Amino acid sequence: MALLSVLTPVLAVVLCLVIGFMLVRSRETETTSTPSGKTEGAKKADFRPWVDQDLQDDTEITAEEEEDGDWADSHEEEDLLHVPYSPPRYPEETMLQRSKDLYTLMNQRRSVRFFSPEPVPREVIDNVIRTAPSGAHTEPWTFVVVSDPDTKHQIRQIVEEEEEVNYRQRMGDKWVNDLAKIKTNWIKDYLDVAPYLVLVFKQTYGILPNDKKRTHYYNEISVSISCGILLAALQNVGLVTVTSTPLNCGPQLRILLKRPANEKLLMLLPVGYPASDATVPDFKRKPLDDVMVHI
């Protein structure tokens, strides 16, 4: 008993040291560096709700991805033929007039959320999608054009379910308040009404006829540029759209539309004629001097 009474204070000290060590280690674990070099604590602080979690993939191929699958080498592809290129050259007066005409046309473009169910010729949609350019002509995209009413309604259900969570939880009060002036919320009637929904998927890599994977460099930039050209092409034929980027809907929509794992949803565009009573916010462009620097 005497020995026990002597050891009791020592055991208590040892126990306190063990508990203290465990607490320190637990705090270190909370801020352990991730493979990207950022700490978990920093990741929480840097959380950006406007970034779709399904789009967290870059052009760069990790070592793990490179080992997973058979990637094509550039020398395996056929030699590329180079041909003469002579685009039309216009007189300066014509150039000036064409630039003014295009500006006038595009200055009339607005994001529209009120659509007419009036049908649009399918060939028009085909032609506007064909206009998109891409880096090295890789065309790292898939445009899924949906006109089937049942599929459109399923898309609407998926989008509205996620968007309600976005508005109520993910986006925060400031973002929701900023959107209030344009009178938008998680209810997306136009997904049923517009005759077409164009879902734009970026391909993080391509698949060649021999089943090898082809690297798509700058795929997101190429697809984003193509979407801008698509907006201009739609305006050119008198159709309207709204650039919809429904957060965190990509995986569900990819499954619904039977798209492969290398495709990620970047944008959803309802397309059609505007409703007869459509309204848009009365936004004004910035003066040119505010957006351009001439050196």
CA trace torsion 152, 157, 158, 162 (10° rounding): 140
Task: Specify if 76 maps to a domain.
Answer: no
Query: Residues near 100 by Cβ (< 8 Å), separated by ≥ 6?
Result: none
Task: Specify if 287 maps to a domain.
Answer: no
Task: Specify if 33 maps to a domain.
Answer: no
What's the domain count of the chain?
A: 1
pLDDT in tens, the chain (295 residues): 554 455 455 555 556 665 665 655 555 444 444 444 444 444 444 545 545 555 554 444 444 555 566 876 665 566 778 999 999 999 999 999 999 999 999 999 999 999 999 999 999 999 999 987 787 788 899 999 999 999 999 999 999 988 888 778 777 788 877 787 777 888 899 999 999 999 999 999 888 888 888 888 888 888 999 999 999 999 999 999 999 888 889 999 999 999 999 999 999 999 999 999 999 989 899 999 999 999 9
| CA separation, residue 83 to residues 23, 59, 79, 80, 86 (Å) | 68, 29, 13, 10, 10
Task: Specify if 248 maps to a domain.
Answer: yes
| CATH number of the domain bearing residue 269 | 3.40.109.10
| pTM for the model | 0.76
> At what angle are helices 219-236 and 122-130 packed, to 10 degrees?
140
Cα dihedral across residues 250, 251, 256, 257: positive or negative: positive
Task: Specify if 232 maps to a domain.
Answer: yes
Residue of 272, 111, 277 lying closest to 194 (CA atoms): 272
Range of the domain at 263: 112-277
**According to the model, what pLDDT value does residue 209 have?**
82
Task: Specify if 220 maps to a domain.
Answer: yes
Task: Specify if 188 maps to a domain.
Answer: yes
Beta bridge partners of 271: 196
Q: Contact 206/216 with Cβ under 8 angstroms?
A: yes
Task: Specify if 285 maps to a domain.
Answer: no
